[in-house]
């Protein structure tokens, strides 16, 4: 069902596509880097499978290939960045660098972004902070496919949060998760297999709980982390709301039901109160709190203790957030990135359109 | 089963108790304010019911009534505060004020705290930012009663997160929640009624799912928000971990299984890597991002839209985080604070010990 490709061959292809739509060399590289990092980390829904989606947004004039991304307001620890309708992959990279520079000067940096588009995988942006001995944070809102607790209407995106924390000898701690019970990517896997979804993932268009994995397409909604009130869905709803507020109300982007959709064929919501979609980034310099080596020593102990906790029967062991992704990265660097045939067909069509040779499969 | 008391009579009683153990006038007022704010907001588990617990910690020499709380490290946007084993209620108030002062100067303020104790209700600390037109954040770690995903062992506290966001004409947005499926307070209600707990709240001492509300006392654990892997418990586990790291690894407090317990009769964990328990506070000035009146206008629209979403059948409407607590506050200001008889007995004993008259019941 899937065929494997090398990192470098896919990377070259993606980069060429971004060059063909008019991105600068630098931006094409940044966009390709971010996109393929999702495939490497096993978040296939946010990787090369989305390339054609970005191209279609550009074709629909919803994305500019050569935006003038700039800071429109700032203090020593904060900024608002206007993405000028650029690729979110590129806008996010710019904004996270602003947060890091601010943190160098005054301990922390916090950047809210408006007028952007889908930024790809949150974790990769947050991880930019790690090499600077900083904690990194990244979040974004998205178009409304999630119903708040007790709501029939969809008012929130899956609004992910990523937090990356440096460590010493151990691998870094990298949390990266949608604020819903399950991400849309996980749901798509069940849809393809025609499997039922677990309870707590979805509701019907009337707001009733359902295990029908296709409910979202039939007017239903994804549910906030927790699933229902009894299991804490008001907490997932609060988390998704915080992401929406930090990303869009702070910056002047669209929020709630007014966030522009990723698929170019879906009409833009009317009467949007802001510009584009919104993101939020943070960077905290470790030594703005305590010496980095002391912190890392403690962080290593934290990770070691959790990794070595006694596991429940039937499970091998306890994982640190980000650990499965690191294992996946090693595997894919060695054995290639598997792509579904439907994704390959989609990429081949882009290749034909732009006259770029699609890479040979691995081996 | 419960008797109602006026705010002012309970407040006076609490303040006198804190004065009797040796707190300054100012600290006794701060501690009483914070403690009773939990009762007013309906978070009964964190209010006056805990007063005897604080007194016992003081008797056990685990809490100092006259701490020298101070900043031990800082940059323009950050600080680490040493709570000197003071009451968490007072230490948190000090630290949140530091965050607010930092935000006045450079846009945001971030304070990690070590050497503290239980800080009461998180939301009240976060809400200190509101009158300054700032977003406020408060979180704390706690002693380990939560098992990470796949773990038999308890390694995290219920580690709550609170975020308070200013609005214009609408009531502010105040999220305040434990990063577990259910808080310990909610569990205690079921225990008192001898009811079963919903699935996803608890596991047994062997790590098996259970609906026995007494499982925690029998060596079991509370579960991270999500309940199990299929329902996203790795996300609740990640959130609880982030709170632990920001509160304790950043400050040099104890983390994971080494966090000191609240009940004074439970021995302190051995070989703790840090000092006391840890908190983390943040303040972000709205106008460090955009003019506060523009933000509030959008925030009002956000709140209005969500409040007016179509509700699922059987539910009256959709609530904004913090709204039920505001309704509770109005009710209790008018009708008094209900206390369980067991809590009243406990308070009367403290009154006798310190020769303070316990208030007459309301009406």
**Of residues A361 and A128, more confidently modeled:** A128
The pair of structure tokens assigned to A343 is 């994704």
CA–CA separation, A232 and A296 (whole Å): 33
How far does chain A reach from its first CA to its final CA, in angstroms? 16
**pLDDT of res. B238:** 98
CATH code of the domain covering residue A200: 3.30.60.50
Is any Cβ of chain A less than 8 angstroms from the Cβ of B78? yes
CATH code of the domain covering residue B112: 3.30.1370.60
CA–CA separation, B226 and A198 (whole Å): 12
3-state secondary structure of A173: strand
**pLDDT of res. B362:** 67
| Whether residue B163 is found in the same domain as residue B141 | yes
- Nearest 5°: CA angle at A262, between A257 and A263? 110
Instruction: Evaluate the CA torsion angle A190, A194, A195, A199 in order and state its sign.
Output: positive
Residues in chain B: 363
**Of residues A93 and B361, more confidently modeled:** A93
Tell me, letter by letter, the H, E, C secondary structure of chain B.
Answer: CEEEECHHHHHHHHHHHHHHCCCCHHHHHHHHHHHHHHHHCCCHHHCHHHHHHHHHHHHCCCCECCCCCEEEEECCCEEEEECCCECHHHHHHHHHHHHHHHHHHHCEEEEEEEEECCCCCHHHHHHCCHHHCEEEEEEECCCCCECCCCECCCCECCCCEEEEECCCCCCCEEEEECCECCCHHHHHHHHHHCCCCCCCCEECCCCCEECCCCCCCCCCEECECCCCHHHCHHHHHHHHHHHHHHHHHCCCCCCHHHCCCCCCCCCCCCCCCCCCEEEEEEEEEHHHCCCHHHHHHHHHHHHHHHHCCCECCCCCCCCCCCHHHHHHHHHHHHHCEEEEHHHHHHHHHHHHHHCCCCCCCCC
Give the model confidence (pLDDT) of A291-324 as tens digits: 999 999 999 999 999 999 999 999 999 999 999 9
B273 vs A180, A301, A313: nearest CB: A301
| Whether residue A349 is found in the same domain as residue A259 | yes
As a whole-number percent, the residues of chain B with pLDDT over 70 amount to 99
DSSP state of A228: S
8 Å CB contact between A158 and A143: no
**pLDDT of res. A66:** 97
Q: Is residue A312 part of a domain?
A: no
Mark yes or no for CB contact A77/B76 under 8 Å: yes
| Whether residue B155 is found in the same domain as residue B281 | yes
| Whether residue B193 is found in the same domain as residue B278 | no
**pLDDT of res. B79:** 98
Query: Does the pLDDT of residue B244 top 60, yes or no?
Result: yes
Query: Does the pLDDT of residue A362 top 90, yes or no?
Result: no
Best of B232, B295, B318 to substitute, by most chain A Cβ atoms within 10 angstroms, is B232
Best CA proximity match to A332, nearest among A46, A37, A121: A37
CA–CA separation, B134 and A228 (whole Å): 31
Taking contacts as CB-CB distances below 8 angstroms, the residues of chain B near A295 are 249-250
Confidence of residue A361 (pLDDT cuts 50, 70, 90): confident
How far is CA B255 from its chain centroid? Answer: 17
Is any Cβ of chain A less than 8 angstroms from the Cβ of B281? no
How far is CA B68 from its chain centroid? Answer: 23
Is any Cβ of chain B less than 8 angstroms from the Cβ of A134? no
B47's CB contacts (< 8 A; 6+ apart) are: B35, B36, B37, B38, B39, B40, B120, B121, B337
Taking contacts as CB-CB distances below 8 angstroms, the residues of chain A near B73 are 289-290
| Whether residue A54 is found in the same domain as residue A188 | no
Q: What are phi and psi of B213, to 5 degrees?
A: -65, -15
Q: Give buried/exposed letters for B58-92 (b at 16+ CB in 10 A, else e).
A: beeebbbbebebeeebbbbbbbbbbbbbbbbbbbb
Domain boundary among B222, B249, B277: B222
Measured in angstroms, the CA of A48 and the nearest CA of chain B are apart by 25
The pair of structure tokens assigned to B282 is 């943040």
Domain boundary among B222, B247, B282: B222
CA–CA separation, A281 and A77 (whole Å): 12
CA–CA separation, B9 and B24 (whole Å): 20
Query: Does the pLDDT of residue A4 top 60, yes or no?
Result: yes
Helix H or strand E segment including A161 = strand A161-165
Output the DSSP codes for A9-76: HHHHHHHHHHHHTT--HHHHHHHHHHHHHHHHTT-GGGTGGGHHHHHHHHHTTSSBSS---EEEEE-S
Query: Does the pLDDT of residue A363 top 80, yes or no?
Result: no
Q: Is residue B316 part of a domain?
A: no
Nearest chain A alpha carbon to B204: A312
| Whether residue A172 is found in the same domain as residue A124 | yes
E-strand ranges in A76-157 read 78-82, 108-116, 134-140
| Whether residue A176 is found in the same domain as residue A186 | no
* Residue B271 lies in domain: 2-181+223-291+324-354
Best of A298, A300, A317 to substitute, by most chain B Cβ atoms within 10 angstroms, is A298
CA–CA separation, B3 and A186 (whole Å): 50
For the CA atoms of chain B, what is the radius of gyration? 20
How far does chain B reach from its first CA to its final CA, in angstroms? 16
Q: Give buried/exposed letters for A146-165 (b at 16+ CB in 10 A, else e).
A: bbbbbbbbbbbbbbbbbbbb
90-119 in chain A: CB under 8 A from chain B? 106-108, 110, 112
Mark yes or no for CB contact A153/B310 under 8 Å: yes
Measured in angstroms, the CA of A198 and the nearest CA of chain B are apart by 7
CA–CA separation, B257 and B141 (whole Å): 11
Is any Cβ of chain B less than 8 angstroms from the Cβ of A123? no
**pLDDT of res. B360:** 79
Domain boundary among A194, A221, A248: A221
Confidence of residue A272 (pLDDT cuts 50, 70, 90): very high
Measured in angstroms, the CA of B233 and the nearest CA of chain A are apart by 9
Best of A139, A203, A231 to substitute, by most chain B Cβ atoms within 10 angstroms, is A231
Q: Is residue B315 part of a domain?
A: no
8 Å CB contact between A281 and A114: no
3-state secondary structure of A80: strand
Best CA proximity match to B202, nearest among B147, B141, B158: B147
Best of B72, B206, B249, B305 to substitute, by most chain A Cβ atoms within 10 angstroms, is B249
**pLDDT of res. B220:** 97
CA–CA separation, B171 and B296 (whole Å): 11
Is any Cβ of chain B less than 8 angstroms from the Cβ of A354? no
Give the model confidence (pLDDT) of B78-103 as tens digits: 999 999 999 999 999 999 999 999 99
Residue in the structure block whose two tokens are 């009534």: B65
CA–CA separation, B320 and B302 (whole Å): 10
**pLDDT of res. B189:** 86
Query: Does the pLDDT of residue B74 top 70, yes or no?
Result: yes
Q: Is residue A361 part of a domain?
A: no
Give the model confidence (pLDDT) of A131-177 as tens digits: 999 999 999 999 999 999 999 999 999 999 999 999 999 999 999 99
CA–CA separation, B110 and B76 (whole Å): 10
Mark yes or no for CB contact B231/A200 under 8 Å: yes
What is the arithmetic mean of pLDDT over B45-55? Answer: 94
| Whether residue A33 is found in the same domain as residue A133 | yes
Best of B235, B237, B305 to substitute, by most chain A Cβ atoms within 10 angstroms, is B235
| Whether residue A187 is found in the same domain as residue A273 | no
Q: Is residue B264 part of a domain?
A: yes
Residue in the structure block whose two tokens are 């732009």: A354
CA–CA separation, B200 and B91 (whole Å): 34
What's the mean pLDDT when you consider all of chain B? 96
**pLDDT of res. A197:** 96
Is any Cβ of chain B less than 8 angstroms from the Cβ of A359? no
8 Å CB contact between B225 and B236: yes
Q: Is residue B258 part of a domain?
A: yes
The pair of structure tokens assigned to A303 is 């990770």
Is any Cβ of chain B less than 8 angstroms from the Cβ of A61? no
Best CA proximity match to A173, nearest among A269, A307, A360: A307
Nearest chain A alpha carbon to B200: A231
CA–CA separation, B43 and A331 (whole Å): 48
CA–CA separation, A53 and A143 (whole Å): 14
Best CA proximity match to B108, nearest among A288, A252, A249, A138: A288
145-174 in chain A: CB under 8 A from chain B? 148-153, 155, 163, 165, 173
| Whether residue A174 is found in the same domain as residue A32 | yes
B34's CB contacts (< 8 A; 6+ apart) are: B89, B92, B93, B119, B120, B121, B124, B125
Q: Is residue A192 part of a domain?
A: yes
Question: Which residues are paired to B278 by β-bridges?
Answer: none
Give the model confidence (pLDDT) of B111-165 as tens digits: 999 999 999 999 999 999 999 999 999 999 999 999 999 999 999 999 999 999 9
What is the arithmetic mean of pLDDT over A240-261? Answer: 98
Instruction: Give the strand pairing for A221-222 and A202-203.
Output: antiparallel
What is the ipTM for the molecules in this complex? 0.98
**A329 to each of A113, A123, A323, A337, B83, how far by Cα in Å?**
29, 13, 10, 9, 42
Count up the domains in chain A and report the number: 2
| Whether residue B59 is found in the same domain as residue B158 | yes
What is the arithmetic mean of pLDDT over A172-197? Answer: 93
**pLDDT of res. A193:** 87
Residues in chain A: 363
**pLDDT of res. A262:** 93
Q: Is residue A316 part of a domain?
A: no
CA–CA separation, B320 and B173 (whole Å): 7
| Whether residue A216 is found in the same domain as residue A237 | no
Mark yes or no for CB contact A305/B155 under 8 Å: yes
Residue in the structure block whose two tokens are 């002047």: A252
Mark yes or no for CB contact B298/A273 under 8 Å: yes
Q: What are phi and psi of B169, to 5 degrees?
A: -80, -30
């Amino acid at each position: 069902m899937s065929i494997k490709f090398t990192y470098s061959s896919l990377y070259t292809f993606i980069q060429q596509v971004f060059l063909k739509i008019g991105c600068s060399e630098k931006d094409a590289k940044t966009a390709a880097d971010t996109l393929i990092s999702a495939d490497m980390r096993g978040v296939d829904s946010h990787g090369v499978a989305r390339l054609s989606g970005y191209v279609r947004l550009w074709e629909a004039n919803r994305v500019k290939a050569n935006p003038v991304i700039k800071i429109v307001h700032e203090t020593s620890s904060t900024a608002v960045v206007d993405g000028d309708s650029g690729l979110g992959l590129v806008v996010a990279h710019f904004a996270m660098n602003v947060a890091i520079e601010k943190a160098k000067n005054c301990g922390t940096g916090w950047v809210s972004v408006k007028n952007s588009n889908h930024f790809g995988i949150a974790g990769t942006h947050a991880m930019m902070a790690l090499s600077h001995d900083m904690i990194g944070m990244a979040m974004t809102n998205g178009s409304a496919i999630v119903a708040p607790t007790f709501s029939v209407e969809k008012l929130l995106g899956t609004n992910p949060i990523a937090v990356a924390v440096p460590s010493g000898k151990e691998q870094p701690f990298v949390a990266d998760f949608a604020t819903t019970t399950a991400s849309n990517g996980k749901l798509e896997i069940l849809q393809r297999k025609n499997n039922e979804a677990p309870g707590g993932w979805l509701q019907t268009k009337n707001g009733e709980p359902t295990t029908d994995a296709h409910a979202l397409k039939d007017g239903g909604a994804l549910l906030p982390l927790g699933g229902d009130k009894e299991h804490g869905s008001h907490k997932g709803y609060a988390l998704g709301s915080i992401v929406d507020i930090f990303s869009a109300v702070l910056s002047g982007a669209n929020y709630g039901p007014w966030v522009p959709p990723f698929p170019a064929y879906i009409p833009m919501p009317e009467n949007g109160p802001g510009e584009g979609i919104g993101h939020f980034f943070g960077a905290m310099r470790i030594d703005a709190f305590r010496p980095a080596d002391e912190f890392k020593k403690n962080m290593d102990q934290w990770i070691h203790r959790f990794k070595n906790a006694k596991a429940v029967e039937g499970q091998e062991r306890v994982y640190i957030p980000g650990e499965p992704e690191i294992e996946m990265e090693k595997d894919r660097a060695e054995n290639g990135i598997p792509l579904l045939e439907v994704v390959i067909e989609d990429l081949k069509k882009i290749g034909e359109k732009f006259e770029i040779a699609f890479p040979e499969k691995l081996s």
